[in-house]
Amino acid sequence: MAVTGIGLVSPVGSRPAEVFAAACDGWSGASRPPEDHPLHGLLDVAAFAPDIDPASVLPATEARFVDRAIVMALRAAEDALADAGLEVGRDVDPFRIAVVVSGVGGLALFEEQANLYARKGRLGVSPYLLPGVLPNMAAARIAIKFGIQGYATSAGTACAAGAQSVGDALRILRAGEADVVLAGCSEAPLFPTFASAFTNARALAHGWADPAEASRPFDRRRNGLVLGEGAGVLVLERPEHARARGAAHYAEVLGWGATTDAYHPTAPRPDGSAAARCMQLALRDAGLEPGDIGYLNAHGTSTKAGDAAELRAISAVFGTASPPVSSTKGVTGHMLGTSGVIEAAIGMQALQRGLLPPTANLDDPDPDPDVDHIRKAARTARPRAVLSNSFGFGGHNVSLVLASPGPAGNDPAGNDPAANDSTGNDPGGDGSARNNSAGGER
């Protein structure tokens, strides 16, 4: 299925080309919490997304009672639709477009209201708390804002939720239940209670003099993840629908797989067997063999157990013929479920531009001779297809297979691949050569 639009809110940029450039250059979005931030003194390092005025995406009367996760989701959806040049009601029947946008959502608002209850009692709590914390509300708010009347839902698979949303979108489109799906995730975990839980679980990176060095997937000196925030929404379309409206596209989602570790609420299965099976299912769904994968964007969060289990899974699937592997969380931090969407977007840019981003801060890899780590600098290559992994608490595993027009997949929109040279010769520098219906540079 064709990906015709991308909308991102991340610690390293909001345009696909910006995020990809940061990943390739190893430019980190990690920093110390500012003195005026509630996390100052509570968290050593985090990856903050830009502030968005809620009134820029919602009526002013509603904006003050909406959680940051919903605000970011609305901005990402708005940008994705604009990028795709798609207007609901003009380009697609409102009942033939679906929304699958996920994320924990609402917890910062809940904390704020709980504090008001502690100070003022029952009358201090806003009735708007209810629609502010329900997990479906990012999807619902997007549907309301853009007049989408088709299927709308969210996935509750923790850090796999963004990739799960893309997989669910693929399933909906294949079943003919919609012509277009907005698929994505939004996460805003950078507030005291939630961040403290991660700190007390000893899951966060700490003790680094330079915050940019704190997230170091697969490196022996890693001591935890860098908690981040952000949102990502993709516009997926059925090939004939994209073709009919002349829409160009970034790539196509060729297949996906999902498994469950059935092992522990937070720890991964150490041998990586269920994660390996997930990758194998994704390859089977895409009709590809392991040797067809030219780049693997790993889940790689910079935790001891998680990274080790994923390396075992990769070795189990690819043996001694590992594709080039990197985790871009070395620059973005771990944005929970959003990571899977943004990493899929990075994989699409890798397909287009013929450049594979490295794992930042990977100075001394875990001993595993079978895995071909991309280190120090981006690598020039023209992958036939990309595999993107996302694994979450509860043992949820999701893998996506992405391909550009050519041998690994069809060209759903009927484009000329030469319209955007995969070496990165994009005249607009932001994908504008990819999509001339988006209205110019954004």
Domain ranges of the chain: 2-419
Best CA proximity match to 162, nearest among 227, 72, 232: 232
Q: What sign results for the dihedral spanned by CA atoms 240, 242, 243, 245?
A: positive
CA 373 vs CA 178, 288, 327: distances in Å: 39, 22, 9
For residue 423, pLDDT over 50 is answered with no
Q: What is the pLDDT of residue 427?
A: 27
For residue 209, pLDDT over 90 is answered with yes
Q: What is the pLDDT of residue 419?
A: 35
Q: What is the pLDDT of residue 94?
A: 98
Percent over 70 (pLDDT), the chain: 91
Q: Quick check: is 278 catalytic?
A: no
Cβ atoms of residues 409 and 2 within 8 Å: no
Q: What is the mean pLDDT of residues 141-148?
A: 98
Q: What is the mean pLDDT of residues 302-322?
A: 96
**DSSP classification of residue 267:** S
Q: What is the pLDDT of residue 146?
A: 98
Q: What is the pLDDT of residue 187?
A: 97
Q: Quick check: is 396 catalytic?
A: no
Query: Tokens 């910006």 sit at which residue?
Result: 18
Catalytic option among 249, 334, 373, 396: 334
Catalytic option among 159, 241, 278, 396: 159
Q: What is the mean pLDDT of residues 419-431?
A: 36
Q: Quick check: is 299 catalytic?
A: yes
Q: What is the pLDDT of residue 405?
A: 67
Tens digit of pLDDT for each residue in 366-407? 987 789 999 999 999 999 999 999 999 999 999 999 998 644
Q: Which CATH superfamily is domain 2-419 in?
A: Thiolase/Chalcone synthase (3.40.47.10)
Look at 12-26, 149-163, 222-236, 428-442 and tell me which has the smallest mean pLDDT.
428-442
Catalytic option among 241, 299, 373, 396: 299
Q: What is the pLDDT of residue 409?
A: 44
Q: What is the mean pLDDT of residues 253-271?
A: 97
Give the angle subtended at the CA of 394 by the CAs of 392 and 398, to the nearest 5°. Answer: 40
The length of the chain in residues reads 442
Which pair of tokens denotes residue 201? 């679980």
| Alpha helices (H) along 323-440 | 329-332, 338-353
List of residues 6+ apart from 378 with CB closer than 8 A:
24, 25, 355, 356, 357, 358
